[in-house]
A and B are shown apart, each in its own frame.
Chain A
């Protein structure tokens, strides 16, 4: 009897271990390595209510959130340093968790330990087989920024028109272009173009480099495309400079407390 119980117990433990390891992913950020088992406990504490038990973005709170929580099973992430369609780097996910996603329900989780954030990444990657099957592409380079000049801003304004940015973001960048009302994200939920004149922080960070990167990579899962193939880096810097002029009139501007988080 004892032998039977021991065998049965061992089988249960083995199967549990296998099922845990099957979706386990590794994550690395700097010198930290993520632990998916620890990440699962953290996910259940902090994330499950929005992103759901299965990472499909269908947590209990999801119906009340706009925009909807990210569906990790699709492995489609807005904030990345990699080309459109590519998986994000672990550091991209780390930055997103640390910074939060502005203009959404996703807060900054910087109060969590760095190791905890890396553990979360290891667990989140387990929701999609893509992380097992693919490797993230190399990050797109960000060339040194050009100084903002009236000429650069003027060129940026022309590109804003010619590249049809205004169709979604509106001629004054207020997010009220003629296409705005009909936009949906990759899951079919209505999505509102960012109001560039609002003074609010951009979703993926508020630095010039961050804005340049967003224009290069696009925001996967949203209608915002990548301009990496359509524009040259200098032209993208021109648009960055132009967008700053749209924000300049924002009421109150940005306080220091609202500013982008500093590097740790």
Chain B
């Protein structure tokens, strides 16, 4: 063994030692941590992903069940608010974008070309204010300030907790994230192609369903409940068929979402959880119009659709896997974007589209301050709405790898360094050739809240 080799080994060992020394357990996260004095890692496996203690806290209406729950017992200066910002550098590449053959000449015709962009960027600012209005009445308000002048009210709800003195009866009203199998709101990835669950937002090619996925915030009411240790959970939501848009844009129909899951212990491995869910609804296929323009809220000719499936969360000490399966179906009128009062416009052989999808997301939690992430997701069309559509059009494969490192956590703030790479292949959706459309994202940056 030569001197150079020994030096290299020494350098590597030193690097590992420095890294492991630096990676100490996480401490705090704002808002609720300030209220209860608990570390962020108490509620989050890795922020923002919840562990069972955090899920229990959330299901209790952001209450620990002690004398600090009601705001009357807080210091007058306490303000339950949090900001989240993600300054980053990212690179986006798409292999088939329709561009003018001659740049600047709109009449030169379109061709497909690879397009790459990169640079420093911001996603905007998430603002969250949440907590309790009094014992057993909780609230959540989440405005979002985007780049430029865009703003949005992502969530606003009030929840009455432990009704009739029972954890099994809680009632929420407003705009909220559905009790999703794996929370989209708490996803660990941020990149353009990997920062969301594609299954939660999937619509088949040519489909005009007003509802675009369980990943959207919805407007409605929710009844939910859970056991003392949160191993058994249920939720039933009745929401307007508005896809979460305010101002009654759709119709007067209501959709139903339900989720049930059960946790169980496997000695030596940890808490496992399995569940089933379903979203069942009706969407309008046409609107009353004025001058040919649809009048919001007058949607009619409702036709049915559903999304249903099963999922699991599997823990093997520091490893965990999240598995998700979904089957989706839209009525033939929705799938072909044809008004229900004009059935003659349906293509010959038209049927309601259906598909299957799922994902596996794996994490290795070295400690609360360092987590590695890998995710693979796919969607397969099992039946196209229009027999003229290629069988695999709409099929999707996407994977993401990355890690989050939380070098700074204190009672007022948390900061994560994030690096991830993701790739998505949309089968047969290239705008001109109909070939596979492939996008890549690389992102590195900070994700911090305070």
A residues sitting closer than 8 Å to B (CB atoms) are 1-2, 5, 41, 44-46, 48-50, 60-61, 64-65, 100, 102-115, 200, 255-258, 261-262
Offer 8 A-B interface pairs, CB within 8 angstroms, sorted by A. A45-B41, A46-B41, A49-B38, A49-B39, A61-B38, A104-B66, A256-B166, A257-B136
Contact A111 B56 (CB under 8 A): yes
Known A-B contacts A48-B25, A61-B411, A115-B265; the reply to A1 vs B6 at CB < 8 A is yes
Known A-B contacts A102-B66, A256-B165, A257-B65; the reply to A107 vs B36 at CB < 8 A is yes
Contact A50 B271 (CB under 8 A): no
With a cutoff of 8 Å between Cβ atoms, the chain A residues found around residue B162 in the complex are 255-257
Contact B166 A111 (CB under 8 A): no
Closest CB pairs A-B (n = 6): A256-B165, A44-B25, A49-B39, A61-B37, A107-B64, A257-B162
Known A-B contacts A114-B265, A257-B162, A257-B167; the reply to A60 vs B228 at CB < 8 A is no
Contact B37 A50 (CB under 8 A): yes
State how many residues of chain B have any CB contact under 8 Å with chain A. 41
Known A-B contacts A1-B1, A109-B53, A115-B265; the reply to A49 vs B37 at CB < 8 A is yes
- Does B28 sit within 8 A of A, measured CB to CB? yes
Complexed CA–CA distance, A150 and B72 (Å): 36
Scan residues 1-52 of chain B and give those whose CB is less than 8 A from a CB of chain A: 1, 6, 9, 24-28, 36-39, 41-42, 52
Known A-B contacts A44-B368, A61-B411, A111-B229; the reply to A100 vs B53 at CB < 8 A is no
Closest beta carbon of chain A to B26's beta carbon, Å: 8
**What 16 new A-B contacts, CB under 8 Å, besides A110-B56, A115-B268?**
A44-B41, A44-B368, A46-B53, A50-B37, A60-B410, A102-B67, A109-B53, A110-B228, A111-B52, A111-B55, A114-B265, A115-B265, A115-B267, A200-B67, A257-B167, A262-B228
- Does B436 sit within 8 A of A, measured CB to CB? no
Q: Which residue of A lies closest to B270 (CB)?
A: A113
Chain B CB within 10 A, most for which of A50, A200, A257, A262:
A257
- Does B262 sit within 8 A of A, measured CB to CB? no
With a cutoff of 8 Å between Cβ atoms, the chain B residues found around residue A65 in the complex are 37
Closest beta carbon of chain B to A65's beta carbon, Å: 5
Known A-B contacts A1-B1, A104-B66; the reply to A50 vs B38 at CB < 8 A is yes
With a cutoff of 8 Å between Cβ atoms, the chain A residues found around residue B271 in the complex are 113
Contact B68 A105 (CB under 8 A): yes
What secondary structure prevails in chain B residues at the interface with A?
loop
Complexed CA–CA distance, A61 and B280 (Å): 46
Contact B265 A2 (CB under 8 A): no
- Does B230 sit within 8 A of A, measured CB to CB? yes
Chain B CB within 10 A, most for which of A2, A102, A258:
A258
Contact A261 B267 (CB under 8 A): no
Complexed CA–CA distance, A257 and B160 (Å): 13
- Does B367 sit within 8 A of A, measured CB to CB? yes
Q: Which residue of B lies closest to A43 (CB)?
A: B25
Q: Which residue of A lies closest to B64 (CB)?
A: A107
Known A-B contacts A46-B53, A102-B66; the reply to A111 vs B230 at CB < 8 A is yes
Contact A255 B229 (CB under 8 A): no
With a cutoff of 8 Å between Cβ atoms, the chain A residues found around residue B25 in the complex are 44-45, 48
Known A-B contacts A44-B367, A45-B41, A103-B66; the reply to A110 vs B229 at CB < 8 A is yes
Contact B65 A255 (CB under 8 A): no
Closest beta carbon of chain B to A83's beta carbon, Å: 28
Q: Which residue of B lies closest to A104 (CB)?
A: B66
> Of B1, B26, B53, which one neighbours A112 at CB under 8 angstroms?
B53
Scan residues 245-288 of chain B and give those whose CB is less than 8 A from a CB of chain A: 265, 267-268, 270-271
Q: Which residue of B lies closest to A105 (CB)?
A: B37
